[in-house]
């Protein structure tokens, strides 16, 4: 089995912008929030040759179609897949491998984000947050000592 990565599409994107992102990223699975978003993708579905499945994660599907699934159906499809296959995919994660694509509102350019960049970015946030809390704690301690 192949691996994949996440690509976000803004809920405010037009069907044409959705088509650009899905086509450029060669998306083979698209997850939409609701019927409003699903209708956008259904308008352009015929222009997405790589698309294998559409998944709607909230609400009922109004018009069942081939390769269109509810979130529950999608999750149930994975029941027969062994945990070892998931563990194998986790082992394939590595620095410098793309893990997400980010398209700007204009869809140009596409930014490829690697695993190591994402981890660095998240670690920076955690460290900054910790430093802020530490500084705040130190300020409070200094204030208490000054008032004694």
* pLDDT attached to residue 142: 47
CA distances (Å), 142 to each of 59, 103, 115, 134, 138, in order? Answer: 54, 46, 40, 12, 6
* pLDDT attached to residue 74: 92
15 with 36: CB under 8 angstroms?
A: no
pLDDT in tens, the chain (148 residues): 456 778 888 888 899 999 998 998 899 999 999 999 999 999 999 999 999 999 999 999 999 999 999 999 999 988 888 989 888 877 777 777 777 777 776 545 556 666 666 677 777 777 777 666 666 555 554 444 444 4
* pLDDT attached to residue 1: 40
| Three-state secondary structure readout of the chain | CCCCCEECCCCCCCHHHHHHHHHHCCCCEEEECCHHHHHHHHHHHHHCCCCCEEEECCCCCCCCCCCEEEHHHHHHHCCCCCHHHHHHHHHCCCCCCEEEEEECCCCCCEEEEEHHHHHHHHHHHHHHHHHHHHHHHHHHHHHHHHHC
- The answer regarding whether domain 6-114 maps to CATH 3.40.50.980 reads yes
Domain map (residue ranges) of the chain: 6-114
CA distance 25 to 110: 9
* pLDDT attached to residue 59: 93
Angle (CA) 55-44-61 rounded to 5° is 35
CA distances (Å), 96 to each of 25, 53, 115, 116, 145, in order? Answer: 18, 28, 6, 6, 48
* pLDDT attached to residue 52: 95
- The tokens describing 71, both together, are 């979130």
């Amino acid at each position: 089995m192949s691996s994949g990565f996440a690509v976000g599409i803004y809920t405010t994107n037009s069907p044409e912008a959705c088509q650009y992102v899905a086509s450029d990223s060669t998306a083979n699975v698209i997850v939409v929030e609701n019927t409003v978003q699903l209708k956008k993708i259904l308008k352009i579905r015929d222009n997405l040759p790589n698309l294998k499945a559409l998944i709607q994660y909230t609400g009922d599907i109004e018009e069942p179609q081939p390769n269109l699934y509810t979130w529950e159906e999608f999750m149930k499809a994975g029941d027969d897949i062994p945990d070892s296959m998931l563990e194998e995919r986790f082992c394939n994660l590595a620095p410098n491998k793309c893990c997400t694509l980010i398209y700007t509102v204009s869809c140009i350019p596409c930014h490829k984000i690697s695993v190591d960049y994402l981890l660095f970015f998240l670690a920076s946030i955690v460290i900054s947050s910790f430093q802020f809390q530490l500084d705040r704690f130190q300020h409070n301690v200094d204030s208490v000592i000054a008032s004694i």
